[in-house]
């Protein structure tokens, strides 16, 4: 039986090579203050009216208030956890009616936030369907959206994206950990005590001196499409890498849910410290980043794993790869162009949409390079990218990476 290892903290001491086993602090041309800021906590409750009711009392919900405007129109008020904040207003709630009826529901956002996510509907919280285009109308330069919802006494789930909360991600972690090449552990706990899941993937219990790849996801709570792509990516490596020799030669360290508090609390962007975690990769003010970075450094230093590549899966308005500028020194410098071209060909794309930049801000991709000299890439998936294509892209990205790194290892 595999051992479940809980690493609640990392002690500062030296290995035989005298390298520190905790993350080094770094400076960047464009620093960001990531010290704690207050957040607004939504009250979990049921909003009851004469004929209908709605609730935010479940993980990942966001519904701060609800009012009735007339006999058939209601307004759902969606407020961010704090400001300033990236324009990505997340919403999720359940709604039902005593009798079968149709209503108009206005989604109203605070501080001029614009509607971003196309609503998804579900009857069970597991299977989701995008709302029909005839049932949504954007108002006031998209600062409001009006949904036309058919209600019954059965619960209708409405959410910005498919819900992938801490429990659901944990179920995926448990399932993939049934594979012989996968060992589940934890990198620590979030500010509110939720586990920071970790997967150690290699064909053998002995991964000493094996090159390493670091994979993370969900620094920003609403970015579900990036997580879905990461799932397909990891599942492909586990299923195919166990037989093609890849997992004999490489070790993967995966952290699939970096911001579990923000996810379960239905935040737009931040953790419970009120901070964008993808700006804290310099001084590690937030516990989630501090523990994960220390875990990465501890594991790879202790086992003498040379970190070659770091991938951070995100979501934005369109598919794009944020890659290091050619002037950034890094290991396997030819990898990026070759990898993206393989993905482009395998997925039938005309343009892979790469955006290269220098390391100026304290983000994960820059940290992979500063800490390890590795190639750091932010892998972005569009909010509305078709789910079937997301899976295809994850699968083909994994295959392309394994192919190139096996060639590199065999040279």
> What is the secondary structure of 194-237 as a DSSP string?
-EEEEEEE-SSS--TT--EEEEEE-SSTT-HHHHHHHHHHHHHH
Q: Give the residue among 188, 267, 256, 184 at the shortest CA–CA distance from 220.
A: 267
pTM of the model: 0.95
Does 319 score more than 60 pLDDT?
A: yes
* 56: containing domain: 46-159
By the 8 A CB rule, do 59 and 90 touch? no
Domain of 52: which CATH number?
A: 2.60.40.3120
On whether both 217 and 76 belong to a single domain, the answer is no
Mean pLDDT of 392-398: 98
Q: What is the DSSP string of 63-131?
A: --EEEEEETTEEEEEE--SSSS--S----EEEEEESS-EEEEEEEEESTTPPP-SPPEEESSSSS-EEP
Q: What is the pLDDT of residue 198?
A: 98
What is the band of 341 on the pLDDT scale with cuts at 50, 70, 90? very high
Q: Which residues contact 216 (CB under 8 A, 6 or more apart)?
A: 254, 255, 256, 258, 292, 310, 311, 312, 313, 364
What's the distance, CA 95 to chain centroid? 27
On whether both 287 and 386 belong to a single domain, the answer is yes
Q: What is the pLDDT of residue 142?
A: 81
Does 6 score more than 50 pLDDT?
A: no
Does 15 score more than 50 pLDDT?
A: no
pLDDT tens figures, 71-89:
999 999 999 999 999 999 9
Q: What is the pLDDT of residue 1?
A: 39
* Cα distance from N-terminal residue to C-terminal residue, the chain: 36
What is the band of 19 on the pLDDT scale with cuts at 50, 70, 90? low
On whether both 265 and 149 belong to a single domain, the answer is no
CA distance 308 to 327: 17
**Residue percentage of the chain with pLDDT more than 70:** 95
On whether both 98 and 62 belong to a single domain, the answer is yes
Last residue in a domain, options 105, 138, 159? 159
Last residue in a domain, options 104, 128, 159? 159
On whether both 134 and 274 belong to a single domain, the answer is no
Last residue in a domain, options 134, 159, 184? 159
Q: What is the pLDDT of residue 175?
A: 98
Does 114 score more than 50 pLDDT?
A: yes
């Amino acid at each position: 039986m595999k051992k479940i290892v809980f690493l609640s903290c990392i002690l500062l001491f030296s290995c035989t090579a005298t390298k520190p086993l905790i993350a080094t602090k770094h400076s960047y041309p464009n620093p960001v203050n990531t010290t704690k800021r207050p957040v607004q906590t939504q009250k979990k409750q049921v909003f009851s009216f004469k004929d209908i009711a709605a609730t935010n009392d479940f993980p990942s919900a966001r519904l701060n208030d609800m009012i009735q405007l007339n006999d058939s129109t209601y307004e759902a008020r969606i407020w961010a956890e704090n400001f300033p904040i990236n324009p990505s207003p997340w919403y999720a709630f359940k709604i039902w009616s005593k009798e079968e009826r149709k209503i108009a529901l206005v989604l109203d956002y605070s501080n001029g936030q614009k509607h971003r996510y196309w609503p998804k509907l579900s009857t069970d919280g597991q299977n989701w369907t995008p709302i029909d285009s005839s049932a949504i109308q954007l108002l006031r330069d998209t600062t409001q959206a009006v949904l036309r919802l058919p209600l019954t006494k059965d619960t209708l789930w409405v959410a910005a994206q498919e819900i992938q909360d801490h429990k659901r991600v944990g179920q995926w972690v448990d399932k993939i950990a049934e594979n012989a090449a996968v060992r589940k552990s934890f990198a620590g706990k979030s500010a509110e005590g939720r586990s920071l899941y970790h997967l150690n993937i290699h064909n053998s219990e002995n991964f000493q001196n094996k090159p390493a790849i670091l994979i993370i996801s969900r620094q920003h709570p609403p970015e579900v499409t990036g997580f879905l792509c990461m799932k397909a990516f990891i599942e492909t490596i586990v299923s195919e890498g166990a037989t093609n020799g890849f997992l004999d030669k490489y070790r993967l360290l995966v952290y699939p849910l970096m911001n579990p508090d923000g996810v379960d609390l239905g935040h737009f962007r931040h953790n419970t410290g009120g901070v964008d975690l993808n700006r804290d990769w310099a001084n590690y003010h937030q516990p989630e980043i501090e523990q994960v970075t220390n875990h990465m450094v501890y594991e790879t230093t202790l086992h003498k794993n040379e970190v070659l590549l770091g991938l951070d899966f995100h979501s934005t308005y369109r598919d794009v790869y944020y890659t290091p500028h050619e002037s950034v020194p890094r290991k396997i410098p030819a990898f990026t162009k070759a990898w993206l071209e393989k993905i482009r060909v395998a997925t039938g794309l005309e343009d892979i949409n790469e955006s290269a930049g220098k390391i100026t801000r304290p983000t994960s991709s820059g940290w992979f390079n500063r800490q390890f000299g590795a190639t750091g890439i932010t892998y972005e998936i569009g909010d509305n990218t078709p789910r079937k294509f997301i899976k295809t892209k994850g699968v083909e990205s994994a295959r392309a990476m394994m192919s190139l790194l096996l060639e590199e290892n065999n040279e």
